[in-house]
A and B are shown apart, each in its own frame.
Chain A
Amino acid sequence: MTRVIVNMPATATRGEVIEIRTLAGHEMETGFRRTQTGELVPRNIITRFTCSYNGVEVFRADLHPAVAANPLLSFSTVATESGTLEFRWTGDRDFNVSHSAAITVV
């Protein structure tokens, strides 16, 4: 099971810009490296990250092999209403991990 960490405030005032930091445990194998016998190590990376706020997509990113291992993404969103934020990482070899976090907006 892949470990993911999401760091964001649990409560916010309406209209506040909150910062969300996410980290996913993944080697992000580039597909450009070779083994000692000269064979290419096949690519195995996370290709897409999405963040939905109460079902509406607010942030999306396409990742390429040039993103470091254990990809960190830090972005922001406006706290509009109480609810849940859903984070999803998808990638090579049917990689699919999601995480959700609740937010209370006062």
Chain B
Amino acid sequence: MTTTRRQFVLLALGALATGAEAQLAPNLAALRKAALEDAVRKVTGGAPLRAGRVKLNLPPLIENGNSVPLTVAVESPMTDTDHVRAIHVFTEKNPQPNVIAAWLGPRAGRAQLSTRARIADTGAVIAVAQMSDGSFWSDRVEVVVTLSACLEDGLI
């Protein structure tokens, strides 16, 4: 059977349309941003995030995203009346934005937490601290990841 010109044009248009859809449908960047905002909102309950008081320390250039040392330090006297209640860490590009949530209190003596995280891709890492007066403070660091976590199976 020979293909007519009309059939060919229709087929080509169809192929183009499905190809374009396959590229556009999963807008991962927007979805991940929404997931991050959702996760932060779940913690803050809509309260405003203020910059300052929190210092998130991690290397700006990460060679191996599978194990990234990070430290969160919060300026606080850590007394019964004025202390840090919780520290949360989020990433922008991971399949799930939450990294760790830690609860401490005046008995911590110093509001500092260190751990090691997996970071999937170049993007922002955010630390949020909840104070005993109910206010939220945050710090944001942009990192570059050369070897991302879970790369061998392609980022999901």
Interface residues of A (CB under 8 A from B): 17-18, 21, 30, 32-34, 53, 56, 58-69, 71-78, 80
**Stretch touching chain A among B22-30, B44-52, B94-102:** B94-102
Q: How many residues of B sit at the interface, in one of the four size bands?
A: 20 to 34
* Contact assessment for A68 and B68 in the assembled complex, using a CB-CB cutoff below 8 Å: yes
The closest CB in chain B to the CB of A61 belongs to B102
Interface centre among A30, A60, A68 (most CB of B within 10 A): A68
* Chain A, residue nearest B156 (CB): A32
Q: Do residues B117 and A72 form an inter-chain contact, with CB atoms below 8 A? A: no
Does residue B146 face the partner (Cβ distance < 8 Å to A)?
no
Complex A-B: 12 CB contacts under 8 Å: A30-B150, A32-B95, A62-B100, A64-B98, A66-B96, A73-B115, A74-B112, A75-B102, A75-B114, A76-B110, A76-B112, A78-B108
CB of B153 within 8 A of CB of A34, answer: yes
A56 to B104, CA, bound (A): 12
Q: A17-B109, A33-B150, A71-B115 are in contact. Are A66 and B104 (CB under 8 A)?
A: no
